[in-house]
């Protein structure tokens, strides 16, 4: 796999990007849940909790893929 300016192969970089954005979104959704609950909108709070759980699962899957790539010749010099 080709490595870019970062030293990471494209797939590893993409996984790291998705993981970061999923974790960041999950952090933000916590505030959205509180806002919805404070507004008395438990239905909307439940929606935010659902997407927060989905992003958490997405971040976990990225972590597992990155662990598989870590140290492999596919990962590029930044992960080997």
pTM for the whole structure: 0.74
10 pLDDT above the threshold of 90: no
In a domain, 63, yes or no: yes
Phi–psi pair at 32, nearest 5 degrees: -65, -40
State the residue range of the domain holding 64.
10-69
Residue 78 three-state SS: coil
| pLDDT more than 70, % of the chain | 78
Q: Per the domain annotation, does 61 fall within a domain?
A: yes
Three-state secondary structure call for residue 47: helix
Higher pLDDT, 70 or 79: 70
Helices 10-38 & 42-69, crossing angle to 10 degrees? 160
Residue 76 domain flag: no
| Residue 74 forms part of a structural domain | no
Place of tokens 């990007």: 17
Domain count across the chain: 1
Q: Is residue 43 part of a domain?
A: yes
CB-based contact 63:22 (threshold 8 Å): no
C-alpha to C-alpha distance for 66 and 14, rounded to whole angstroms: 10
């Amino acid at each position: 796999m080709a490595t870019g300016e970062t030293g990471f192969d494209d797939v590893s970089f993409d996984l790291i990007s998705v993981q970061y954005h999923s974790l960041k979104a999950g952090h933000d959704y916590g505030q959205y849940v509180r806002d919805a609950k404070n507004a008395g909108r438990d239905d909307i709070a439940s929606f935010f909790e659902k997407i927060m759980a989905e992003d958490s699962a997405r971040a976990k899957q990225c972590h597992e893929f990155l662990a598989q790539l870590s140290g492999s010749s596919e990962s590029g010099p930044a992960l080997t």
